[in-house]
C-alpha cells in the first residue's frame, strides 16, 4: 500500500478564482483561424502563476422558451438501447411540435441527441447525432423548414439523471427539443 496523499488545493483555488470571473465575459483574445463571433467566445488569459494558462468557457444561459399548450410542453423523446428509431408512442408528440413549427416559421428549435453512459464517448456522440437526426427528419417530413432546426449531439456527456442502472440509462437515451425563441 502506498500512502501518497495528493492535495488538490491548487485545483480548488483555481476553481474559486475562475468562478468569480466566469460571470463576466472577457474580451476575446484575437486568434488566427477562429471562426466564432467574438460575443460567443469567452476566454480568460493566463493565470497569475504564469506556469499554466487557464481558460474559462461558459456559454451564455438560455431562458426557457417555447409553447406549453397540450403536448407541446413535453419535449423529450426516449429511445431503446442502441436504437435511433422513433418509437410509436412518440409519433403524436413529434407531430404536435411539427404542426406548431410549420405554422410558426420564425420559431427555431435545437434538437439535442443523447445516449446512456455505456461504450466509448466519441462513438456515443455518433449515436446521439443519429437520434437528433431521426427527430429532425420527422419534423422536416411534416413540413418544418430546414432553417428552423439545428442539431447537437451530446453523446453521454449531458445525462438527464446520474446513475448506473437500467432505469437511469433509459432516462438518458433521449432527444430533447429545445425552443430557442
Partner 1 sequence: MPARAELQVNVTQGVTDPIPIAIVPFARAVPADGGLDLAGVVQHDLESSGRFRAMQRRDMLSTPTRAAEVQSADWKAAGNDYVLVGRVTAPTGSEIDVECDLLNTLTGQRIGGKRFVATGASLRNAAHMVSDFVYESILGVRGAFATRIAYIAVQGQAPTQHFQLIVADSDGESPKVILESNQPIMSPAWSPDDQWLAYVSFENRLSGVYIQRVRTGERRLVSQRVGVNGAPAFSPDGTRLALTLSGSGGNLDIWLLELSTQALTRLTDDPAVDTEPSWSPDGKSIYFTSDRAGGPQIYKLDIANPRRVQRISFGSGYDARPRVSPDGTKLAVVTREGGNYRIAVQDLASGTVSVLSRGSLDESPSFAPNGATIIYAGREGSVGTLQTVSVDGQVTQRLTSSQGELREPAWEPFQR
Asked whether 153 and 132 are in contact (CB, 8 A), the reply is: yes
CA angle 89, 95, 100 (to 5 degrees): 140
The CA–CA distances, whole Å, from 29 to 25, 26, 46, 57, 147 equal 12, 9, 11, 13, 31
Which is closer to partner 1, CB of 62 or CB of 80?
62
CB of 120 to partner 1, least distance (A): 4
CB of 110 to partner 1, least distance (A): 7
Asked whether 129 and 151 are in contact (CB, 8 A), the reply is: yes
Which is closer to partner 1, CB of 66 or CB of 153?
153
CB of 180 to partner 1, least distance (A): 9
Which is closer to partner 1, CB of 65 or CB of 161?
161
CA dihedral sign, ordered 60, 107, 138, 100: positive
Classify 161 as helix, strand or coil: coil
CB of 70 to partner 1, least distance (A): 25
Which is closer to partner 1, CB of 14 or CB of 72?
14
CB of 62 to partner 1, least distance (A): 7
Which is closer to partner 1, CB of 97 or CB of 153?
153
Q: First CA to last CA across the chain, in angstroms?
A: 57
| CA 121 and chain centroid, separation | 14
Nearest Cα neighbor of 129 from 112, 117, 116 is: 112
Amino acid at each position: 500500500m502506498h500512502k501518497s496523499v495528493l492535495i488538490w488545493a491548487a485545483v480548488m483555488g483555481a476553481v474559486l478564482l475562475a468562478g468569480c470571473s466566469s460571470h463576466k465575459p472577457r474580451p476575446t483574445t484575437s486568434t488566427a483561424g477562429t471562426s466564432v463571433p467574438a460575443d460567443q467566445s469567452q476566454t480568460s488569459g493566463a493565470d497569475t502563476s504564469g506556469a499554466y494558462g487557464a481558460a474559462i468557457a461558459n456559454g451564455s444561459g438560455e431562458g426557457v422558451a417555447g409553447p406549453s399548450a397540450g403536448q407541446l410542453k413535453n419535449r423529450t423523446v426516449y429511445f431503446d438501447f442502441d436504437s435511433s428509431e422513433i418509437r410509436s408512442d412518440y409519433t403524436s408528440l413529434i407531430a404536435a411540435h411539427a404542426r406548431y413549427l410549420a405554422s410558426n416559421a420564425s420559431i427555431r428549435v435545437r434538437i439535442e441527441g443523447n445516449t446512456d453512459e455505456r461504450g466509448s464517448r466519441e462513438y456515443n456522440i455518433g449515436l446521439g447525432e443519429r437520434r437528433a437526426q431521426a427527430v429532425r427528419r420527422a419534423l422536416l417530413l411534416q413540413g418544418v423548414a430546414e432553417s428552423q432546426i439545428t442539431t447537437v449531439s451530446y453523446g453521454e456527456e449531458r445525462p438527464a439523471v446520474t446513475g448506473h442502472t437500467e432505469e437511469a440509462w433509459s432516462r438518458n437515451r433521449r432527444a430533447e427539443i429545445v425552443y430557442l425563441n
